[in-house]
Each structure stands twice: as C-alpha cells, then as structure tokens.
Amino acid sequence: MKSISIIKTSKSEKITAIVFFILFIIIAFLCIYPMFWALNNSLKSFNTYSKDSFSLTTEWAFVNYLRVFSEFSYDGVNYFGMLINSLWIVVVKVFVNVASSAMLAYAIARFNFPGKEFLYVVAIFVNTIPIIGSGPAAFKMLDFFGMVENPLTIWLSWASGFDFAFIVLYGYFKGVSPSYSEAAYIDGAGELRTFFTIILPQVIPCLVAIMITQAIGVWNDYGTVMIYLRQSPNLAYGLYMFNADSRYAEESKPVYFAAAVISAVPIITLYACTQNLILENMTAGGLKG
C-alpha cells in the first residue's frame, strides 16, 4: 500500500491564512459595494435618492435607463455619440500602442546594434520613474504640430512603444528560440516576413491579453480626451462632465448612475470572459536580460 503523507499546518500559518482571508474579504467588499451602490441608486427616483442614497430601492425605476439615451449628453454629443468616440479611441489607441511596442520590443530583443542596451534602460526608466511636469511640454508640442482636437493625427502620439507592453513582449521575444528565425532565413524569408509570419503568431495570446488590459484602461480614461479631444468626448469624459455640471447633476443623479452602469457593462463583460487569458500571459512574460 502507498503511504499518504499529511502536511501539518502550524498554528501561526493558520492564523496568517485567516488574517489574509479576512483582508481579502474586506478588499472584495470595498470593490463591490460602490458598484452595487451605483446600481441601486440608478433604480431610484430623484426624490428617493435625495432623501436617502444608501437605502435599498423599492421603486425599480427602470425608466432612468431609457432617459440615458434621451437626456445624457455633453456639449451637444449624446450617449451614442460618446459610445462611438469611446469605441474608436479604444480600437485605434490600443492597436497603435501595442503595434509600436511589439516592433520595438522585437528589434531590441532579437538584434544586436549600437545603443541596444541604452534603449532597454530607457524603457525600464520610463516605466518605473514617473516624469513629473512633462504634460505641458507634450501638449505644447502636439498643439504645434496640429494634433490637438484632430482625430486624424492624434493617433501618432499614441505610438509610444516604451510602455508596459514593451516590457512583457520583450520577455516573450527573448524566450522564442532563434531556430525559428534561422529556419525562415534558410527558406529565403526576409526580416519582415519572419517577424509577421513566424515570430508574431507565437506571441498572439500575449498580444491579445495586453490589448484587453489596455482596452480596459483606455475605456475608463477621461484625461486624454479632456486635454486633447474635448470636441470628441468619450463615455468616461461625458460621465465626468455630466456629474460635474450642477445643471444636470442636481436633478439627474439617477440618470448619471444609470449611464455609468450601462457604460461599465461592456468592459466588465470583456474582462470576465478573458481574465484567465490575461493572468496566464501576464505572468509568463517579464524582464529577461
């Protein structure tokens, strides 16, 4: 008969596990409660909300969700217009940023050239040490080139390359065996064909995970739109201004919460469906010298 070994847990380990469990429960509550509070208030009338915003609703005013599509607007742009702006900003910004990061990471990880180590150090520096005060200079430069309030050219500023995606992809490209490239070279493939048909397909799961992660951040980003694209407000910026403008907020708080709930549904659904892909690929990358 096979012997079964039993690992005994010490008293201190049990106490530590209990403490961490309690902390995780508290953190989970702090994360879930604001969403529940917003959902609860989105189903109240304004009078009920103004009297007590913390009580459970008994009215179920679903009409607030219909009012979102007729009353929720900013600077002449309604909910559908903001939704379209959110979608194109997410698609363009994520694609441009990940594409530039992938090409830059591939070049630094796979080729030897003067300044290679310096560029890698710059990438690490940019991702670890915040550069305070660069915002005004960046705005002045983009304004000089006519990119501010210009959706046709603003995307050029999103091709940074030196971001977290670069760090992860650099680790992935370093982990791909050089034998694949050598075999492609023997078959007559050039550098571009090797990159797009041999190397890039091997990191597609990582690329998808990075795109989803960035899409979540871009979807909730109102700062970029507030500074560079005020005439093309997205949902995040529209919610920010709708709440800040007292002419709307004083009498339309339930509509504001309903708009926030509707706007959060797509990105929450996206993350819920892809969380395993994100976690698996984010932990597989990393720093490799």
pLDDT band at 122 (very low <50, low <70, confident <90, very high): confident
Cα–Cα distance, 15 to 113 (Å, whole number): 54
What pLDDT digit, counting tens, does each position of 48-57 carry?
A: 888 888 888 8
Q: What is the Cα 229 distance to its own chain's centre?
A: 18
Model confidence at 11: pLDDT above 70: yes
Structure tokens given for 77:
């742009």
Give 267-272 contacts, CB < 8 A, sequence gap 24+.
267/215, 267/216, 267/219, 267/220, 270/212, 270/215, 270/216, 271/212, 271/216
Cβ atoms of 173 and 109 within 8 Å: the answer is yes
Q: What is the pLDDT of residue 285?
A: 45
pLDDT band at 18 (very low <50, low <70, confident <90, very high): very high
Cα–Cα distance, 27 to 13 (Å, whole number): 21
Cα–Cα distance, 89 to 83 (Å, whole number): 10
* Lowest-confidence region among 20-29, 49-58, 270-279: 270-279
On the CB side of 137, how many CA atoms lie within 13 Å of its CA? 4
What pLDDT digit, counting tens, does each position of 123-178 carry?
A: 888 888 766 667 788 899 999 999 999 999 999 999 878 888 898 899 889 888 88
On the CB side of 250, how many CA atoms lie within 13 Å of its CA? 3
CA distances from 27 to 30, 32, 34, 48, 283 (A): 5, 9, 12, 29, 22
What pLDDT digit, counting tens, does each position of 211-228 carry?
A: 999 999 999 999 999 999
Q: What is the pLDDT of residue 94?
A: 95
The values of phi and psi at residue 77, to 5°, are -105, 120
Determine the average pLDDT of the residues in 59-65: 88
Q: What is the pLDDT of residue 206?
A: 86
pLDDT band at 247 (very low <50, low <70, confident <90, very high): low
What pLDDT digit, counting tens, does each position of 73-119 carry?
A: 888 899 999 999 999 999 999 999 999 999 999 999 988 889 889 98
Task: Express as a percent the part of the chain with pLDDT over 70.
Answer: 90
CA dihedral over 238, 251, 80, 271, signed as positive or negative: positive
Q: What is the pLDDT of residue 277?
A: 74
Contacts of residue 134, Cβ cutoff 8 Å, sequence gap at least 6: none
Query: Which residue type sits at 269?
Result: T
SS3 of residue 194 by DSSP: helix
pTM score, two decimals? 0.84
Query: Which residue type sits at 98?
Result: V
CA distances from 258 to 69, 72, 74, 264, 267 (A): 10, 10, 16, 10, 15
Cα–Cα distance, 43 to 58 (Å, whole number): 9
